[in-house]
Amino acid sequence: MLLQVLGTAAGGGVPQWNCACPGCSGARAHPHWRRRHASLAVQASEDRWYLVNATPDIGDQIEDCPALHPGPGSRRTPIAGLVLTDAELDHTLGIARLREAGAGGLELLTTGPVREALLTGLRLEAVVGPYTPLTWRDLPLARPEPLTSTSSDTPNSTAAPNSTAAPDSAVTITAIPISAKRPRYAADLPVPEGDSWVVALLLTDRATGATAVYAPALAAWPDALQSAVDQADCVIVDGTFWDDEEPRRTGISTRTATAMGHLPIDGPGGTAERLAPLGARCLYTHLNNTNPLVDPGVPQYKRLADRGIEVAGDGMVIQL
């Protein structure tokens, strides 16, 4: 299984356009600090990739990853579709950027609440549909299924001019419900409550059995997630805030990290305590611009390294 890290920042990126905090100012002075919005590319078969979340940076992220470049035909792309872990704007605004898909369309794997939020809250079908057809596929909960669809009515599995034919998928995908955290624009939508508003992904290589867990947003740590990470070979999780008081200490919010829907890395109950005992390779992603880990020289890196934990970087390639 091949994973390509396309971005590792929380909403706003690093630097954020209207922010002069130490992290953003440092990223302007030191370009190697810069981080694009958190996203992952998963190779489903030899020439077929799925993007996990569609960020505002999606165009640049594709250009920076040669495996995602189009060809050999002028409008043939290895990008087979999108997998969405939630309906937040920083994970969905990039869908509109892919409207150039044209007649070939876009395949989107989502849970029911996420799909309804995008259709009724953002009116995605009405906005993007006139440019390219959208095909919605249910993201499987608690059961694995091949990442690549072989359905004849899926645009990317046909000989559409902008895509390659769909071979057997080398990877299966399972969604793990995490929380009922809705994006602000969906707060009053008539969509049922439930923990599938935000999910983690369990990816499994069908040939080798290698597994990876990707969870860029964690408001909770349910038993099903613990079961998945206990057996995983690689775990990439939410590292938005270093500690619970960070949002209040830095003045970006009156709420704690946990109240904002992100378990902190450090401190009692922090995710580092959960990752350290695992046998998997463990990495953090989705860093907020206030997180001290934005500066690669801070001592927090050594504290994590001493526990066998890494911080993912943009462009990182993970082979399992």
Domain ranges of the chain: 2-319
pLDDT of residue 157: 34
pLDDT of residue 150: 58
DSSP state of 14: B
pLDDT of residue 142: 83
Are 133 and 107 spatial neighbours (Cβ–Cβ below 8 Å)? no
Residue numbers of the chain with a pLDDT score lower than 70: 150-167
Locate tokens 């408001």: which residue?
Answer: 219
Quote the CA–CA distance of 277 and 42 in Å, as a whole number. Answer: 26
pLDDT of residue 266: 98
pLDDT of residue 163: 44
How would you label 237-258 residue by residue, b for 16+ Cβ within 10 Å and e otherwise? bbbbbbbbebbeebebeeebbb
Provide the pairing of β-strand 48-52 with 39-45: antiparallel
Locate tokens 């849970």: which residue?
Answer: 111
pLDDT of residue 278: 98
DSSP letters along 212-261, please? EEEES--S---HHHHHHHHT-SEEEEE-S-SSTTHHHHTTS-SS-TTTTT
pLDDT of residue 167: 61
pLDDT of residue 42: 98
> Superfamily assignment of 2-319 in CATH?
Ribonuclease Z/Hydroxyacylglutathione hydrolase-like (3.60.15.10)
pLDDT of residue 65: 97
- Token pair for 26: 């440092």
